[in-house]
């Protein structure tokens, strides 16, 4: 259903299903320029997203327009749900598939009972170190910029809350999961720490954000589909 221009300037919450390899910035720009072409909005047209998704992740990206950009901090603070795959027995510097495997570890001792028991030790408030390949700033540069330059930078652990950590499929070395967590949780770090707790290694091999608060990716559309329906 097409909306009048005023609907977007007064404010809309758009549920976008971000495709794999797209950055959140690219997704927002696709929506922004589609709206500008359709409605001839000025360069001052307000639009932004409520929580970054890495290019290697898919799923729910909430985009706010017009006056609703003021709602972004509130939306960002809501509980998030993710599903995905953790690969056991190896690690990568980025904790995901952005970088190549740098070490291998045994998995023969890992049982279903150990997986389920270990997952429960992460439920509640935990201390978590963000990945060195993250957008957090340190000394005026993004952490990933330091990491890609080969610079070793120490980053402090910070509290986050895991509300649910459910193992949904076990096919070692792969396990599928569903996690419900607070703002600021890095699922890549959770995968890495999970591997350590299993006395093995692990990295995140797939990730999809399914919910933010009451918003569900099932109600979202891709950026290209949004453009096509205008």
Nearest to 13 by CA among 81, 76, 80: 76
Where do the H-state alpha helices sit in the chain?
A: 5-10, 24-39, 72-76, 112-120, 143-148, 187-197, 223-229
Of the chain, the end-to-end C-alpha distance in Å amounts to 8
Length of the chain: 230
CA angle 193, 146, 133 (to 5 degrees): 30
Tokens in use for 91?
């690690």
- Our answer to whether residue 54 is catalytic in this structure is yes
Exposed / middle / buried, residue 59 (Cβ in 10 Å: 0-12, 13-18, 19+): buried
- 190's tokens: 């959770």
Catalytic residues: 54
């Amino acid at each position: 259903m097409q909306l009048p221009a005023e609907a977007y300037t007064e404010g809309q919450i758009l549920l976008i299903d971000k495709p794999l390899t797209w950055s959140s910035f690219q997704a927002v720009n696709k929506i922004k320029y589609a709206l500008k072409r359709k409605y001839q909005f000025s360069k001052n047209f307000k639009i932004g997203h409520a929580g970054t998704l890495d290019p290697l992740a898919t799923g729910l990206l909430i985009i706010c327009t017009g006056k609703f950009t003021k709602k972004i901090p509130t939306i960002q603070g809501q509980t998030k749900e993710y599903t995905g795959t953790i690969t056991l027995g190896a690690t990568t510097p980025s904790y995901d598939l952005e970088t190549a495997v740098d070490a291998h570890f045994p998995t023969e001792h890992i049982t279903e009972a150990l997986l389920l028991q270990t997952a429960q030790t992460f439920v509640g408030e935990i201390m978590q170190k963000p990945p060195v390949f993250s957008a957090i700033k340190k000394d005026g540069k993004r952490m990933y910029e330091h990491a890609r330059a080969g610079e070793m930078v120490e980053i402090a652990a910070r509290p986050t809350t895991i509300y649910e950590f459910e193992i949904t499929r076990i096919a070692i070395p792969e396990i599928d999961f569903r996690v419900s967590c607070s703002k600021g949780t890095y699922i890549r770090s959770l995968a890495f720490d999970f591997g350590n707790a299993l006395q093995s290694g692990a990295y995140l091999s797939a990730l999809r954000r399914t919910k933010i608060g009451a918003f569900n990716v099932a109600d979202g559309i891709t950026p290209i589909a949004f453009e096509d329906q205008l």
